[in-house]
Amino acid sequence: MKKEKFSDYFNKWLYSNNGYYSNYKTIGKEGDFFTSVSTSSFFGGSIGKKIVDTIKKGTLPKNTTILEVGAHHGYLLADIIQFIYTLEPKLLDTLNFAIVERFENLQIQQKNYLEESFGDAIKLTHYKDISEVILPHAFIVANEIFDAFACELVYTKDEQINMAFVKNHKIFFEPCNDEKIINHCKKYKIEKGEIAIGYEDFAQTICKNIKNFSFLTFDYGDRIPRNDFSTRIYFKHEVFPIFEEKLKLEDYYLKADITYDVYFKHLSDSFEKLNVKNITFKTQVQALIDFGITELLELYKKNVDENSYLRESQKIKTLIEPTGMGDRFKMLLIEK
């Protein structure tokens, strides 16, 4: 096996024909990890309320497209649609829905699930890549996708920036000769950690192809670089740091999730460079409360028994707990 950049190895791990994301993976108790979507339907419900409020404000029209990038099974989009219907049912007559999903087998699962849930009440379009999406306006939702963009690993020693390569599932470092990587490290004062590949291209594609949009993403990370490695493997709810002693990458390659913390300043700068100025960064707890998650819970309380209400309250608490998901996950809202 020839040596390859860590970003290429990462991409093959997740997106090759037999990569981790090429087939449907259970998320939640029976899978490798939990997400906000698997925790409570009110996560998607809060986004649905935000969409309704955005349309009511006139920021987007009633016939806009709700686009999810990387929809997994389709649960999040289904939750969004269900709450839109609860809050403003007539919008389903005018809204369009779309998913960006590269794997055809997952497209089929998403389509079947949404048809089972809503029949012909919604209009759904699939795209294989974000570059295919050309629209006058859209509300774009991307939950935990940027931690799955390929990244390079770098560290500086004696003022020399070194970059990771992989051979036979072993990571080693060599002096970096890539000017883009070197300039990125200098600009953001990164001495050790991950550099995501593709944020700029993603931002440029959206800004070029969609005239008017709200782009909403949630992920774990921060606006300050960690200056340490955060790359890790999730397998059956166990977490393995990429440089953990005795860890054998070949034991998890293609079989487990590999991810890292998102550096949100890099992501927001990718849009700011394109003259997109309306950018909001918040913790997940701040965002969901602003979107109206507590109002939705009160509405739910009026229509269910006390035990159902208490169960859902506990799930929502998990979403917004400051010591857990509430602060660990961050939100970026970009409007153009």
* Rounded Cα–Cα distance for residues 78 and 37 (Å): 11
Looking at residue 36, its pLDDT comes to 79
Mapped onto helix, strand or coil, the DSSP state of residue 213 is strand
Residue type for 19, please? Answer: G
Looking at residue 79, its pLDDT comes to 95
Domains of the chain: 1-33+151-196+245-257 (no CATH), 34-148+199-226+261-335 (3.40.50.12710)
Please measure the distance between the N-terminal and C-terminal CA atoms of the chain and give it in whole angstroms: 45
* Rounded Cα–Cα distance for residues 321 and 315 (Å): 10
Looking at residue 24, its pLDDT comes to 58
* Rounded Cα–Cα distance for residues 239 and 220 (Å): 15
* Rounded Cα–Cα distance for residues 35 and 30 (Å): 12
pLDDT per residue as tens, the chain (336 positions) = 789 999 999 999 999 988 998 875 555 445 544 567 878 999 999 999 999 999 999 999 999 999 999 888 899 999 999 999 999 999 999 999 999 999 898 999 999 999 999 998 998 999 999 999 999 999 999 999 999 999 999 999 999 999 999 999 999 999 999 999 999 999 999 999 999 999 999 999 999 999 999 999 999 999 998 899 999 999 987 999 999 999 999 999 999 999 999 999 999 999 999 999 999 999 999 999 999 999 999 999 999 999 999 999 999 999 999 888 899 999 999 999
pTM score: 0.93
Q: CA geometry: angle at 215 spanning 24 and 38, to 5°?
A: 35
Cα atoms in the Cβ-side hemisphere of radius 13 Å centred on 170:
6
Looking at residue 134, its pLDDT comes to 98
* Rounded Cα–Cα distance for residues 126 and 256 (Å): 26
Cβ(69)–Cβ(142) below 8 Å: yes
